[in-house]
């Protein structure tokens, strides 16, 4: 039999699926895959219900329903003072994941280089590679996640087609500062590169930190594609409604890719996302305030247990060093994958091993916890881990 595609077949099943299955099998508290406990805002779901029985459920327009595209443009103006033409500069996709694929398949020519910052979301490398690009990886390291500016500058060349930038960054929970973004913008301008900006956690920043789209920096308006996700902004991760903003020149090849990937996204979910983006300021500030409280609760619990907790500026993930706990795990000598497996099976709590967020030679002593959960869920996880690491779990 002839070989199948070698790039994708070199990857296993995603860590999120693997760990969620293991969590179900062992009835563990699942703080691995990032999905909220709740069912999203009632009013947003109500619009989706109504829209199911109202307008036709046949194929909506390929670029997305006008209501959502107009709402995306208005959201850009409201939060970032960006003037966006909804008819030529917005596109709706089936989640940010499809948006990422459409951007790369639409913009990359074989042999182009793409700059990425590790640790990175797990679909980035497969998509970049399958698009035919050569990934150029630069690593940021805990606890400060400082941008290694010389290395980043060295990763850019005249072959750089684009940088794939994720801020707030999963799983580092870093929110890029204006100064860092200025440095990145300068490199893009110097090397005539684009930026695909994964900003799905745009509303999940803490301690008063501001999310700044790279697109708002001087010279970057028409070099950036900005990606958002209703899954994150409305705590409805199963919906898979993504939206892109970018110049008509960039949107054209991306839309052509989208039309052959999925073509459209369920119209009732698009209409509900449109309603959601128009919600009042209290919704957006409440979302981050609630998550900030959960972050504090989780960070305190993990610290009390003995994890090395890395500061979390945004997203709904906490990055932790588990080395301080190894002496309490009778002869444990494994890596992060084994640590997460054992903690699920024997301790009843699931995290994800962070090595899944790296290309070559990942660090092997960090795990990631999702804290987008009810207090009772977080407390149950902390209680179980406290008992487990005390040796009586």
- Name the residue with tokens 């594609």: 225
* Integer angstrom CA distances of residue 40 from 134, 317, 375: 38, 18, 16
Binder to ligand GLN among 18, 28, 30, 33 (CB under 6 A)? Answer: 33
* Integer angstrom CA distances of residue 363 from 1, 110, 351, 353: 37, 30, 16, 10
Phi/psi-derived region of residue 232, left when phi > 0, alpha when psi is between -120 and 50, beta in every other case: alpha
Binder to ligand GLN among 7, 16, 26, 383 (CB under 6 A)? Answer: 16
> What is d(CA 239, CA 229) in angstroms, rounded to the nearest whole number?
9
H helix or E strand, kind and range, residue 198: strand 194-198
CB of 242 to ligand PMP, least distance (A): 5
Residue 16 near which of ligand PMP, ligand GLN, none (CB within 5-8 Å, type-dependent): ligand GLN
Binder to ligand GLN among 167, 170, 173, 355 (CB under 6 A)? Answer: 170
Binder to ligand PMP among 48, 147, 200, 220 (CB under 6 A)? Answer: 200
Binder to ligand PMP among 67, 198, 202, 336 (CB under 6 A)? Answer: 198
Binder to ligand PMP among 242, 276, 348, 353 (CB under 6 A)? Answer: 242
Please check whether residue 287 is in contact with residue 203, taking contact to mean a CB–CB distance below 8 angstroms. Answer: yes
- Contact track, ligand PMP, 66-105, x by CB under 6 A: -----------------------------xxx--------
Please check whether residue 103 is in contact with residue 196, taking contact to mean a CB–CB distance below 8 angstroms. Answer: yes
Number of other residues whose CB lies within 10 A of the CB of residue 303:
12
Residues contacting ligand GLN: total by CB under 6 A: 5
By CB under 6 A, tell whether 94 contacts ligand GLN.
no
Residue 231 near which of ligand GLN, ligand PMP, none (CB within 5-8 Å, type-dependent): ligand PMP
Number of other residues whose CB lies within 10 A of the CB of residue 168:
27
CB of 221 to ligand GLN, least distance (A): 28
Q: What are phi and psi of 259, to 5 degrees?
A: -65, -20
> What is d(CA 346, CA 362) in angstroms, rounded to the nearest whole number?
25
By CB under 6 A, tell whether 34 contacts ligand GLN.
yes
- Contact track, ligand GLN, 119-158, x by CB under 6 A: ----------------------------------------
Residues contacting ligand PMP: total by CB under 6 A: 13
By CB under 6 A, tell whether 37 contacts ligand GLN.
no
Please check whether residue 78 is in contact with residue 202, taking contact to mean a CB–CB distance below 8 angstroms. Answer: no
**Nearest-CB residue to ligand PMP?**
95
Residue 240 near which of ligand GLN, ligand PMP, none (CB within 5-8 Å, type-dependent): ligand PMP
Q: In what order do the strands lie in the sheet with 352-353?
A: 308-309, 317-321, 366-370, 352-353
Taken as a whole, the chain contains a residue count of 393
Please check whether residue 101 is in contact with residue 257, taking contact to mean a CB–CB distance below 8 angstroms. Answer: yes
Binder to ligand PMP among 70, 166, 235, 370 (CB under 6 A)? Answer: 166
Can you give the binding site for ligand GLN, defined by CB under 6 A?
A: 14, 16, 33-34, 170
Can you give the binding site for ligand PMP, defined by CB under 6 A?
A: 95-97, 121, 166, 170, 198, 200, 229, 231, 237, 240, 242
């Amino acid at each position: 039999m002839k070989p199948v595609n070698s790039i994708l077949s070199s990857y296993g099943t995603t860590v999120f699926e693997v760990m969620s299955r293991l969590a179900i099998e062992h009835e563990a508290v699942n703080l691995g895959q990032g999905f909220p406990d709740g069912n999203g805002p009632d009013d947003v779901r109500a619009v989706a219900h109504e829209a199911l029985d109202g307008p036709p459920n046949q194929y909506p327009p390929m670029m997305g329903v006008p209501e959502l595209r107009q709402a995306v443009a208005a959201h850009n103006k409201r939060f970032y003072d960006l003037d966006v033409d909804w008819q030529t500069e917005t596109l709706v996709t089936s989640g940010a994941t499809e948006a990422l694929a459409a951007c790369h398949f639409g913009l990359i020519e074989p042999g182009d280089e793409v700059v990425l910052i590790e640790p990175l979301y797990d679909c980035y490398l497969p998509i970049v590679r399958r698009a035919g690009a050569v990934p150029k990886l630069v690593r940021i390291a805990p606890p400060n996640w400082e941008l290694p500016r010389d290395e980043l500058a060295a990763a850019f060349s005249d072959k750089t087609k684009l940088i794939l930038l994720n801020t707030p960054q999963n799983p580092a929970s870093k929110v890029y500062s204006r100064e860092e973004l200025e440095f990145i913008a300068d490199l893009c301008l110097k090397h005539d590169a684009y930026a695909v900006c994964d900003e799905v956690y745009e509303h999940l920043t803490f301690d008063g930190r501001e999310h700044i789209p790279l697109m708002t920096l001087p010279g970057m308006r028409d070099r950036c594609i900005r990606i958002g996700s209703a899954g994150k902004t409305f705590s409805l991760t199963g919906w898979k409604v993504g939206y892109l903003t970018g110049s008509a020149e960039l949107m054209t090849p991306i839309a052509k890719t989208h039309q052959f990937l999925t073509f459209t996204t369920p119209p009732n979910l698009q209409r509900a996302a449109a309603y959601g983006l128009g919600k009042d300021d209290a919704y957006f500030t409440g979302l981050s305030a609630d998550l900030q409280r959960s972050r504090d609760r989780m960070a305190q619990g993990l610290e009390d247990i003995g994890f090395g907790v890395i500061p979390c500026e945004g997203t709904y993930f906490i990055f932790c060093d588990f080395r301080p706990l190894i002496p309490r795990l009778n002869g444990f000598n494994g890596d992060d994958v084994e640590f997460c497996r054992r903690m699920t099976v024997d301790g009843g709590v699931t995290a994800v091993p962070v090595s899944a967020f790296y290309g070559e030679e990942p660090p092997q002593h960090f795990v990631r916890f999702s804290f987008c959960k009810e207090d009772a869920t977080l407390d149950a996880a902390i209680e179980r881990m406290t008992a487990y690491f005390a040796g009586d779990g």
